[in-house]
Amino acid sequence: MNSSRTHGVLLGGLFVFACGTPPPESAPQAPPPAPVARAAAAGEPAADCPATGVAVDPLPRTRPEHEQLDYWLTRTAAVADLDRPLFTPAELAAFNARIGRRDVFGASARADLLAPVDPARLADDLNTRLGYLRGKFESAAYVRGDGTPLPPEQIAALTPTLDARAFTDLPTEVRVALDLIPIHCAPQREPYYTPSRDLAFDRNLCSMARAQEPLQILRPWDGGLALARTTYVMGWIDLADARLSPPLAPEIARRFIDGPFVRAGQDFDLSDGQGTDIHVPFASLMPTASGRREALVAGPGGVAVRSVDPARVSARERPLTRRAVLTEAFSYLHRPYGWGDYAGGRDCSRYLMDMFGGLGLVLPRHTSDQALAGQVEDLPPDLPEPERLRRIDAAHRRGVVLLHFPGHIMLYLGRDDAGAPMAIHSFAEYLVPCPGRTDGAPAGERETLLRVDGVHVSDLELGRGTSRTAFIQRISRITVLAPPAATEPRP
């Protein structure tokens, strides 16, 4: 991989946080409303075309059966074997090892929290991030919540002058998150936004560590912050507010990092044996202690072995089949969206990372990196739609397919019984055209932004006729999650 490619991956991993720009789509064409008595003032949304709204549920053209797991098991069985493993154990191990390769994924590569830290590489990663952020603030591409620029002294603090000597002899102190812990992209608590200032899209929220996830404290920072990382993201946490377990012994930390695990199928609480309840949220991975009946759970007093109800958990280490993928994917249906895990929701890439993680397949945290995780086919922007669909369907016959366009990624489900291509994904919003919108009209002119904010099944027509265009028109990359090619060098 050449140096320009590596640099591009690094920037993608550090700065294309979560799902990038919220994705668009399209809703039903309503009959034209009655004429209004007056024209809207300049800059004011027309009365017959509000600027924002709430999407219908289910989404346009999504029928009740589209949201049923059994429906898609039947549809998928028509094109592939539901129960044939997609990977052998050795192939899955090779796939997961590739996600840790810096030459492929740059700073977004999966990290081993117990491996020695390279001080020079860490300083370089952070300097790249600080320089990028400083440029964003200096150009007013990022602003504070009230719309004002960041004060000059705070911008100056983003000068990329970190030296490797600041990161020598770092302790490998691994703890476990006991609740949601915001991981900030910049060394500050204050949120920042693009000039549109949608407060649900804090660009300083890289991700959140979730309860029962391991987290490594790398170094104290100014203002009560600490540089920290999970296996999938690095940033700054507020040590005073972060609910963390005591430091783990290395052998216990390894269990929380590598498993084997059981996956929580619902939220539940377990006692730590000392009168404190430990919360285990849906989709948490808990290291097994004795099959599926006992697991390690972390609490404020440390790690305890606790009995778990087998009905509440599933084994993570099981054959990775299409049936397993679909079953896991639909277990998240209608769960909330959240940019960077805002308010405990999941954005598009976190949904896929957690969903496949529950099956033992590792993905990076961000959309652009997930799109590089498997066998990749790029789609030219001028490729006709029939050919786009032909290539997507051909990929679907080969394996599990992710569909990507800049800022968004989704799991392809296949064609419904009427031939419509469908996907399941977590997304925030989509655009619909208002009656009278003309082709090529500028963004925001006679189109309405509808909020979705959840994991839903949709077709690929959403967005048709708007400034963002339809999903099918925007898809730029097909990714088949399959074993690494035999010619690809192993790490």
pLDDT tens profile 368-381: 999 999 999 999 99
What's the burial of 63, exposed, middle or buried (CB within 10 Å: 0-12/13-18/19+)? middle
Q: Are 237 and 175 in contact (CB under 8 A)?
A: no
What confidence tier does 45 reach under pLDDT thresholds 50, 70, 90? low
The answer, yes or no, to whether residue 405 has pLDDT greater than 50, is yes
- Considering Cα of 22, then 158, then 4, then 206, what sign does the dihedral take? negative
Could you count the other beta carbons within 10 Å of the beta carbon of residue 294? 16
How far apart are the C-alpha atoms of 173 and 219, rounded to whole Å?
10
- Phi/psi at 64 (nearest 5 deg)? -55, -40
* DSSP code string of 256-284: HHH--EEEESS-EEEE-SSS-EEEE-TT-
State the pLDDT at residue 318. 83
Sheet holding 421-433, edge to edge: 52-54, 447-459, 421-433, 408-415, 400-405, 477-481, 375-378
What confidence tier does 317 reach under pLDDT thresholds 50, 70, 90? confident
The answer, yes or no, to whether residue 33 has pLDDT greater than 60, is no
Interaxial angle between packed helices 3-15 and 119-138, expressed in degrees from 0 to 180 and rounded to the nearest 10: 70
What confidence tier does 16 reach under pLDDT thresholds 50, 70, 90? very low
How far apart are the C-alpha atoms of 364 and 349, rounded to whole Å?
8
What confidence tier does 275 reach under pLDDT thresholds 50, 70, 90? confident
- Find all residues with CB under 8 Å of 151, minimum gap 6, and list them: none
Residue labelled with tokens 């909330």:
336
- Look at residues 20, 79, 9, 72 and name the one whose alpha carbon lies nearest to residue 373: 9
- Worst-scoring range by mean pLDDT, 1-10, 98-107, 171-180, 315-324? 1-10
Cα distances from 294 to residues 260, 287, 291, 443, in angstroms, run 12, 9, 6, 54
What confidence tier does 44 reach under pLDDT thresholds 50, 70, 90? low
The answer, yes or no, to whether residue 305 has pLDDT greater than 60, is yes
- Look at residues 258, 282, 280 and name the one whose alpha carbon lies nearest to residue 271: 280
The answer, yes or no, to whether residue 179 has pLDDT greater than 50, is yes
Residue labelled with tokens 């086919």:
377
How far apart are the C-alpha atoms of 472 and 25, rounded to whole Å?
10
What's the burial of 265, exposed, middle or buried (CB within 10 Å: 0-12/13-18/19+)? middle
State the pLDDT at residue 19. 64
Average pLDDT (158-179) is: 93
State the pLDDT at residue 28. 32
Q: Are 92 and 491 in contact (CB under 8 A)?
A: no
166 three-state secondary structure: helix
489 three-state secondary structure: coil
Residue labelled with tokens 């064609």:
415
What confidence tier does 392 reach under pLDDT thresholds 50, 70, 90? very high
Q: With the CA atoms of 271, 173, 6 and 210 taken in that order, what torsion angle do they form, in degrees rounded to the nearest 10?
A: 20
The answer, yes or no, to whether residue 7 has pLDDT greater than 50, is no
Q: Which helix or strand (DSSP H or E) is residue 219 part of? A: strand 214-220
Could you count the other beta carbons within 10 Å of the beta carbon of residue 318? 12
- Phi/psi at 348 (nearest 5 deg)? -60, -40
The answer, yes or no, to whether residue 20 has pLDDT greater than 70, is no
Instruction: Give the end-to-end CA distance of the chain in Å, rounded to a whole number.
Output: 14
Q: Are 432 and 451 in contact (CB under 8 A)?
A: no
Q: Tokens for 333?
A: 């249906």
State the pLDDT at residue 486. 54
- Phi/psi at 393 (nearest 5 deg)? -65, -35
Residue labelled with tokens 């919220």:
22
- Worst-scoring range by mean pLDDT, 43-57, 275-289, 388-402, 409-423? 43-57
What's the burial of 312, exposed, middle or buried (CB within 10 Å: 0-12/13-18/19+)? middle
Strand partners of residue 432: 448
% of the chain with per-residue pLDDT over 70:
89
Q: Tokens for 112?
A: 């081993």
- Residue at 89: amino acid letter: P
State the pLDDT at residue 74. 98
Q: Which helix or strand (DSSP H or E) is residue 123 part of? A: helix 119-138
The answer, yes or no, to whether residue 3 has pLDDT greater than 80, is no
- Find all residues with CB under 8 Å of 148, minimum gap 6, and list them: none
State the pLDDT at residue 315. 82
What confidence tier does 127 reach under pLDDT thresholds 50, 70, 90? very high
State the pLDDT at residue 46. 75
- Look at residues 469, 478, 415 and name the one whose alpha carbon lies nearest to residue 23: 469
DSSP letter (8 states) at residue 138: H
% of the chain with per-residue pLDDT over 90:
84
State the pLDDT at residue 290. 77
Q: Are 312 and 244 in contact (CB under 8 A)?
A: no
Average pLDDT (184-190) is: 97
What is the pTM (predicted TM-score) of this model? 0.91
- Look at residues 153, 117, 375 and name the one whose alpha carbon lies nearest to residue 227: 117
Beta strands in 382-464 (DSSP E): 400-405, 408-415, 421-433, 447-459
Q: Mean of the per-residue pLDDT values for the chain? A: 90
What's the burial of 279, exposed, middle or buried (CB within 10 Å: 0-12/13-18/19+)? middle
